[in-house]
Amino acid sequence: MQRKTILFSLLLISGLLLSACGGSVPGLAPRTETIRDAFGREVTLSGTPQRIISLAPSVTEMLFAVDAGGQVVGRDSYSDYPEEVQGVIDIGDGFSSLNTELILSLEPDLILAAEITSLEQISQLEDLGLSVFVVPNPLDFEELYQRLELVAHLTGHDQAVGQLVGSLKERVAAVDKTLADIQGRPLVFYELDGTDPNAPWTSGPGTFVDMIITRAGGQNLAGSMDGQWVQVSLEVLVMQDPDLILLGSAHWGGVTPEDVSARAGWETLTAVQDGRVYTFDDNTVSRPGPRLVDGYEAMAKQLHPELFR
């Protein structure tokens, strides 16, 4: 049960400060302004932050994408991308008690959190005299671009973000164009946790996984079910009979297509019989950061390989 709690917490971060510091990034003019964050809190920014702590992987990836990686002095344990982030001090997982002593020792002038961060933890940090800004989770690509622009603005990189957003828009538009005339939408079962092969967990409506599958020209098997995280019985899987099975569980649990083929009762599924069971990098569709575009490209190629040869 604890394993599932951690998994689903990561998937939700899977998810978006500042003290009156007079310092600034060279070449960037200091400014003071008040901006409303994801929780509706008005946060006053004073100056351009030089010492940033990220409390979520999606936020960390945004920071590095907008060229603010050099300002990041601390990150949560699950922030593992890009590779350079491994050299940044790990302040803990953020799901239990925050290591406030370590956080204070880093002297941050900006702390970025995601919506998964609890209000209690935010209050705890603010009680220590630290300013915290919660970045809203994007719900689609347009909101992703806006969040990147927001993070760039918070960190003093407004000029750098334009090229990044332009490139992401071009990539999304290219996939959209390729998929414009698709014939048929394969039924997709996306496995998050196959610990119980008779009732695996999947991603339901309102999730990034559901959004990406639908936009990439597929039908999410759990797209009309109740709840964002859903357990599907083997009986329902056999009845629905997906055309394609994607294993996000490969990342979380090391599940392979061979493991799926060996499961009792799964051998009757069309996807298993046709050899259409594939591993999938879950981080690209569960973290609400710039790699959602990577996930979209990979998903489209997986669902409609004939269009990307």
Give the Cα separation of 28 and 38 in Å (integer): 26
> What is the DSSP-derived secondary structure letter of residue 137?
P
Instruction: Check residue 21 and give its pLDDT.
Output: 32
Give the Cα separation of 227 and 26 in Å (integer): 47
pLDDT at 45 over 90: no
* pLDDT per residue as tens digits for the range 200-225: 999 999 999 999 999 999 999 999 99
Q: Can you tell me the mean pLDDT for 26-42?
A: 75
Please indicate whether the domains covering 15-164 and 187-307 agree at the CATH topology level: yes
pLDDT at 17 over 50: no
CATH code that applies to domain 187-307: 3.40.50.1980
Radius of gyration of the chain (CA): 21
Give the Cα separation of 232 and 134 in Å (integer): 33
pLDDT at 14 over 80: no
CB-CB contact of 137 with 114 (8 Å) = yes
| pLDDT-derived band at 31, boundaries 50, 70, 90 | low
pLDDT at 26 over 80: no
pLDDT at 286 over 50: yes
Which is nearest to 149 in space by CA: 141, 160, 140, 134? 160
| pLDDT-derived band at 61, boundaries 50, 70, 90 | very high
pLDDT at 135 over 70: yes
Give the Cα separation of 218 and 244 in Å (integer): 9
- Domain residue spans in the chain? 15-164, 187-307
Instruction: Check residue 1 and give its pLDDT.
Output: 45
Q: Prior bond to 15 cis, omega within 30? A: yes
| pLDDT-derived band at 28, boundaries 50, 70, 90 | very low
More confident position, 258 or 96: 258
Instruction: Check residue 13 and give its pLDDT.
Output: 41
- If you average pLDDT over every residue of the chain, what do you get? 89
Reading the block at residue 234, the tokens are 């083997």
Residues 6+ apart with CB under 8 A from 287: 13, 14, 15, 57, 58, 61, 208
* pLDDT per residue as tens digits for the range 88-124: 999 988 677 789 999 999 999 999 999 988 888 999 9
pLDDT at 7 over 60: no
Q: What pairing do the DSSP bridges indicate for beta strands 89-90 and 72-75?
A: parallel
Reading the block at residue 134, the tokens are 């919660």
User: What percent of the chain is modeled with pLDDT above 70?
Assistant: 89
pLDDT at 19 over 60: no
Q: What burial letters (b/e) apply to 56-83, b meaning 16+ CB within 10 Å?
A: bbbbbbbbbbbbbbebbbbbbebbebee
Q: What is the pTM of this model?
A: 0.87
Q: Name the CATH superfamily for 15-164.
A: Nitrogenase molybdenum iron protein domain (3.40.50.1980)
| pLDDT-derived band at 10, boundaries 50, 70, 90 | very low
